[in-house]
Amino acid sequence: MRIVVFFSGTGTNLESIIHNQKKYGYEVCACFTNNPQAGGIHICEDHGLECKVIDNNHFTDRVEYDKEIDLYLNSIEPDFIILAGYMRIFSSCLVDNWEGQIVNIHPSLLPKYPGLNTHQRALDAGDKYHGTTIHFVTSELDDGPIIRQESFEIEPSDDPNSLMDKIKEIEHRIYPETISFLNK
C-alpha cells in the first residue's frame, strides 16, 4: 500500500508514520506540504523522501490551488492520502476525485471541536475527557466517517500544551497502526 503524507508544520506525526513503515507494511511514496517553512521538510530530507512543496500563498483561489494538488496526486497515484497536521481544507472537487482515499487526524473527540484551538476549547468547556480522532475526509471541515478515536482523562494540572503533548503521544502510536488497517 502506497501512501502520500500531507503536513503543514513540525511533522512529528509524519516522522512516526515514516518510522513505522516496515513494521506496518505500508510505503510512504511521497510527502507534500503547502508551507515552504514547515519543519517536516527536514524530516523528509533526513529520510531521503521527496517532498513536494506548493506554496498556497502563490494562489488566490482555493479551487485553482487544489487543481494543482490533483495533478500532483495523479502523477504519483497513491492508494491513500494521509493528512498529518495539514492545516488547509480541501475543496469538494478534490475530495470527490479521491473519495474514500483521504484520511485525517484531528486533535479532539469529534464531533466535538472541529477547527482550531481544540485543547483550549476542551479546557474552557470543563470536559472530563479529551482525545484524538482519525477519520475519512469529506468536503465538510473535520467531518466524515470516524475510523478510530482514543481518549484520556483531563487532569486538573493540564493546560493546552500538556494536552497537545498527550495527544501527540497517542497519535504517534495509533496513526501508523490505523493506516496499516486501511484497505486498498
Distance CA 118, CA 164 (A): 9
Nearest to ligand GAR of 107, 144 (CB atom): 107
- How do beta strands 27-33 and 51-53 pair? parallel
Told to judge if 58 belongs to the known catalytic residues of this protein, a careful annotator would answer: no
* CA–CA distance, 31 with 121 (Å, rounded to integer): 31
Residue with smaller CB distance to ligand GAR, 75 or 145: 145
Residue 66 or 142 with smaller CB distance to ligand GAR: 142
Smallest separation, CB 140 to ligand GAR (Å): 13
135 — phi, psi (to 5°)? -150, 155
Active site residue: 19, 58, 106, 172, which one?
106
Count of CB atoms situated within 10 Å of the CB of 103: 21
At closest approach, how far in Å is the CB of 181 from ligand GAR? Answer: 18
User: 8 and 105 in contact (C-beta within 8 Å)?
Assistant: no
Contact 90, 66 (CB under 8 A): yes
Smallest separation (angstroms) from ligand GAR to the CB of 84: 5
Min separation Cβ 114 and ligand GAR, Å:
8
Residues that bind ligand GAR (CB under 6 A): 7, 9-14, 84-85, 105-107, 132, 142, 167-168, 171
Q: Which residue has the closest beta carbon to ligand GAR? A: 85
How far apart are alpha carbons 7 and 68 in whole angstroms? Answer: 16
Query: Is 153 buried (19+), middle (13-18) or exposed (0-12) by CB count in 10 A?
Result: exposed
Question: Among residues 74 and 162, whose Cβ is nearest to ligand GAR?
Answer: 162
- Give CA angle at 20 (14, 113), nearest 5°: 45
Looking at the annotation, which residues are catalytic? 106
